Structure 1
C-alpha cells in the first residue's frame, strides 16, 4: 500500500507531514511526494508578484527558481527516504489567461474564472499513475492559497478515499481556521518520534530558498516545528466521516 502526498508546491508536503513521512519509510511503507506546480514557464515577462518572489528567494529567473527548487525537493525527499514525482503545471505566479495576461498578483485569493478548469487537468494527469490501493493525502487548503484550493479540488475529483493534512506554515499563522475547515471530518494523530522530528526539520531545511520567506530563519523554523510536535506528538490527518 503506497502513500502518496499531493503537494501543491515544491515544499508543502514536507513542511506539513515530513515527520510522518519519515516514520512511514522507517516502517517500510512506500511513500511518494507528488508536486504539481513544478513546471517551467515558457517566457517572460514575469508578473510583479513573480519578480518580487524571485528576489526574496535569491533567483534571477523563473527557470533558475524552478530548477533550484526541484533540487531542494529531491534533497528533502532523500532525507526522509521518499520518492518524488514532479508534474509540469505552473505555479499561480506564472499562469496566464487566454490573452497572455497574468492571472494572479496575490496568492491568497479565490481561483480566477479562467483557472477553474485546472482541477480537471490535474485529475487527468494524476489518474494514469494511481493504483487501486494507493492512499492519497491532500492539503486542506488552510490559509486559502489559490494553488492549495485548486489542488484540493483536483484530488476530490478523483472520487477516492482521501486523508487531509493541515497546511504548514499557514496553520501556524491561522490555527483558528482549522475547526471550521475540519468540522465534518474525523482527526487521527500519527506519532512522530524525536528522531522523526529531527528528520522533519532536516527535510524542511533542504528548502533553503524558502526558509527566510516562510519562517524568517532556520532557527525559527526548527522552533516552530518543535512547538507543533510538542503539542500534538506528531502529525494530524483528517478524513471525511
Structure 2
C-alpha cells in the first residue's frame, strides 16, 4: 500500500506534511509525492505576472524555473524518504486561453470557466497511475490558490476516499477558511517525532528559490514549521 500525496506545486506536499511523510517512510511505508502543476510551457513568452514571480525567484525562463524547482523537489523528497513523480500540467502563471491570452494575473482567484475541464483531465492522469490500495492525500485549498482548488476538485472526481491536509503557509494568512473547508469532516492529528520535525524543516529549506517569498528567510521558515507542529500537536488530517 502506497501513500500518494497530491501536490499542486513543487513544494506543497513537503510544506503541508513533511514531518509525517518522513515518519511514514521511516516506518517502512512507501510514500510518493505526485506534483501536478509542474509541466514545461511550450512558449518562451511570459506574462507580466510570471515575469514578476521569476524576478522574485531569481530565474529568467520558464524552463529554468521548472527544471530548477524539479531538482529542489527531488532533493526534498530524498530528505523525506519519498519518491517524487512529476506531471505535465502547467502552473497557472503559464496557462493561456485558446486565443493565447494569459489566464491568470493573481493566484488567489477562482478557477476560470474556460478551464472547467481541467479537473477532469487531471483526475484522468492521476487515475491512470493509481493502484487499488493506494491512500490519497490532498490539500484542502485553504487560501483558495487557484491551482490548489483545481487539484482538490480533481481529487474529488476520483471517487476514492481522501485524506486532506491544510495548505501551508496559506493557512497562516487565511485561518478563517479552515472551518468551511473542513465542514463535515473528521480530524485526526498524527504526532511527528523529533527526527521528523528536523527532516520537515530540511525538506522545506530544499526549496531555496521559494523561501524568500513564502517565509522571508530560512530562520522564519523553521520557526513557522516548529510553531505549526507544536500548536497542532503534529500534522492534522481530515476525512469525510
Q: TM-score range by the shorter chain?
A: over 0.9
Q: How many residues align?
A: 240
3-state SS of paired residue (1:180)? helix
Structure 2: tracts of 5 or more residues without a match:
none
3-state SS of paired residue (1:129)? coil
Which position in structure 1 is the counterpart of 2:29?
29
d(CA) in 2 for partners of 1:194 and 1:175?
Answer: 26
Structure 1 length-normalised TM:
0.98
Spell out the pairing of 1:69-218 with structure 2 (5 A cutoff): 69-218=69-218
**Residue 44 (structure 1) shift:** 2.9
Q: CA RMSD in A?
A: 0.7
3-state SS of paired residue (1:90)? coil
**Residue 180 (structure 1) shift:** 1.7
Spell out the pairing of 1:62-73 with structure 2 (5 A cutoff): 62-73=62-73
3-state SS of paired residue (2:5)? strand
d(CA) in 2 for partners of 1:74 and 1:183?
Answer: 34
> 1:52-96 CA distances to partner (integer Å, 9 max, x unpaired)?
000000101100000000000000000000001000000000001
d(CA) in 1 for partners of 2:139 and 2:70?
Answer: 20
3-state SS of paired residue (2:34)? strand
> 1:176-223 CA distances to partner (integer Å, 9 max, x unpaired)?
221121121000000101111010000000000000000000000000
Q: Which runs of 4+ in 1 moved over 2 A?
A: none
3-state SS of paired residue (1:85)? strand
d(CA) in 2 for partners of 1:45 and 1:85?
Answer: 26
Structure 1: tracts of 5 or more residues without a match:
none
